[in-house]
Amino acid sequence: MEKMKKMIAVLTLFAISCQSKGKENEQLISENKEPVKMEVEKGLEVATFGGGCFWCTEAIFLELDGVKKVESGYIGGKTANPTYEEVSTGTTGHAEATQITFDPTKISFGELLEIFFATHDPTTLNRQGADVGTQYRSEVFYHNDEQKKITEDYIKVLNTENTYGKPVVTRVSAASKFYVAEDYHQNYYARNKEKSYCSYVITPKIDKVRKQYSDKLKK
């Protein structure tokens, strides 16, 4: 009976996904040589991460002290002004991502990167749990050479120490144009905590951050 309950729980979790499965088409992913320049308020910096469904990553980073703004959106594809429906087909090349504006005097890019890797599986190619497709790929979009080096060095450490028992497949790419997602995706978790995806997938991630990174939370 206990074994059956566990099996049902696993099947339930895999049935709950952020969106339907998209096609995997690596050719549609953009390959910028240099990060796109963007205006940022003086004294603040920007980090952009793709780690599966952006409902999850947005909720995580909103918890952290020093984070001024988190926006869910699309990046890394070749289609201009993509919609959620288009990105969900996997044919635009974009990743669901969160763009984080933060105060580096309160939280560093390296600390954000550590939490990013601690709250998703960077060893599954184009997949996070039941969410499958290139739009759910693990990817760091760097905005300068320092972010690039920090990310590449961190991935080397993870692989050298065999942290996950499997190689990290996270892409490291120059940040291309970021398209902010539709309004109903912004602050999604806070407005939809009672929904199945939020309670089964996002809440455990939030609990993990609150437990392991309590010193980095907003007061």
CATH number at residue 40: 3.30.1060.10
What would the mean pLDDT of 133-139 be, rounded to a whole number? 97
Residue 28 confidence (pLDDT) above 70: no
Cα(208)–Cα(145) distance, integer angstroms: 30
**Beta strand segments in the chain, E:** 45-51, 67-75, 95-102, 127-128, 131-132, 138-142, 171-174, 179-180
Local structure of 116: helix, strand or coil: helix
Higher-confidence position of 141 and 9: 141
Which of the residues are catalytic?
Answer: 53
Q: What pLDDT is attached to residue 169?
A: 98
- Domain residues for 142? 2-216
pLDDT in tens, 156-165: 999 999 999 9
Q: What pLDDT is attached to residue 35?
A: 78
Structural domain count of the chain:
1
Per-residue pLDDT band for 12 (boundaries 50, 70, 90) equals very low
Burial of 186 (0-12, 13-18, 19+ CB in 10 A): middle
Per-residue pLDDT band for 25 (boundaries 50, 70, 90) equals low
Per-residue pLDDT band for 32 (boundaries 50, 70, 90) equals low
pTM, full prediction: 0.87
Cα(75)–Cα(180) distance, integer angstroms: 9
**Beta strand segments in 6-130, E:** 45-51, 67-75, 95-102, 127-128
What amino acid is encoded at 27 in this protein?
Q
Per-residue pLDDT band for 10 (boundaries 50, 70, 90) equals very low
